[in-house]
Structure 1
């Protein structure tokens, strides 16, 4: 197990590889609601803490009601979303919350910082994760642990994100797991 990696699962073959590792947590991306029970059962069997990306779960509304359904039905460790209402709902249901923000310019950075302060998630997932300067600024201004994700496919990018203050790095690149 490599420290600070939070595997991001997009396909069943990713899941098959993950359960053969020492990892104890993951983010579930691009899941279909019809497959979620068997996926979650497998992950729980391997004592894997799972964070479901609500916005990317197909077959369920990407709103606070869909979030509530996912939490009550599948009992994840937490959820990931870009939507403040979804994060707020998940917080009331006492699961770990990860707010995903896309920082493409200084305006988006300022908006994201204000949103993080307002919503107060447990973690903030900053994309692209190769934006080391942004990772430190988001943490310094919000004191919210940062997860770096997006475009990270080299070990030195993981190291740069972590040295910039990222708590974890999400990646679907299996060579980094």
Structure 2
């Protein structure tokens, strides 16, 4: 996925059915699926895979999986998703053990959450870390110095200036639900 992100550094974050329809024909090769239920997830993933997308499921936002330890098992056994996103280190670690791509999501709201992230990454050992909000280049550059884990900047990335600032600070990609940014 790292090579895919280097070629196409905008990740489409899809949060509803309208986003599903829009992303099928959109540029981004990687999709973070941020909605659904255990009943609809396999079909949602299949639709995105049929469009040639790399699909990672935010298991913290899927109804019926919300933060449960079996989330990685469900995604691996019941869907064709390439991987998962979660803010919970044990779920990210379990996804890696199942052979899935794993993104550790972290909301950095203060210095305490920033310092705790290093401990979480040591537990989860993710393929990528997504930090939110993604419009904070200074924090991206700090994290780039503190970890080898590739960084995806997500949340509140609204325009080309935000994308370029995040990439310039050291993020490998950005994730956004803004379809205008997908088309950049």
Query: Given the two structures, how large is their TM-score scaled by the length of structure 1?
Result: 0.94
C-alpha distance after superposition, 1:87-141 (max 9, x if no partner): 1110110111100011111111111122213322110000111111111221221
1:17-96 paired onto structure 2 within 5 Å: 17-96=22-101
How many residue pairs match? The answer is: 176
TM-aligned CA distance change 1:11 to 1:113, over 3 Å = same
Does 1:135 pair with 2:156? no
Q: Distance in 1 between matches of 2:26 and 2:35?
A: 21
CA contact (8 A) 2:33 2:58 kept: yes
* Range moving further from structure 2, 91-100 or 37-46: 37-46
Could you tell me which residue of structure 2 aligns to residue 167 of structure 1? 172
Could you tell me which residue of structure 2 aligns to residue 121 of structure 1? 126
Could you tell me which residue of structure 1 aligns to residue 3 of structure 2? none
Please, which of 6, 10, 19 is the counterpart of residue 15 of structure 2? 10
1:61 CA drift (Å): 4.5
C-alpha distance after superposition, 1:32-51 (max 9, x if no partner): 22221221121111121100
Q: Distance in 2 between matches of 1:173 and 1:125?
A: 17
DSSP-derived class of the 1:91 partner:
helix
CA RMSD between the two structures: 1.4
| Structure 1 residue ranges without an equivalent (≥5) | none
Q: Distance in 1 between matches of 2:138 and 2:13?
A: 23
| Structure 2 residue ranges without an equivalent (≥5) | 1-6
Q: Which runs of 4+ in 1 moved over 6 A?
A: none
CA contact (8 A) 1:79 1:96 kept: yes
CA contact (8 A) 1:64 1:85 kept: yes
* Range moving further from structure 2, 30-39 or 10-19: 30-39
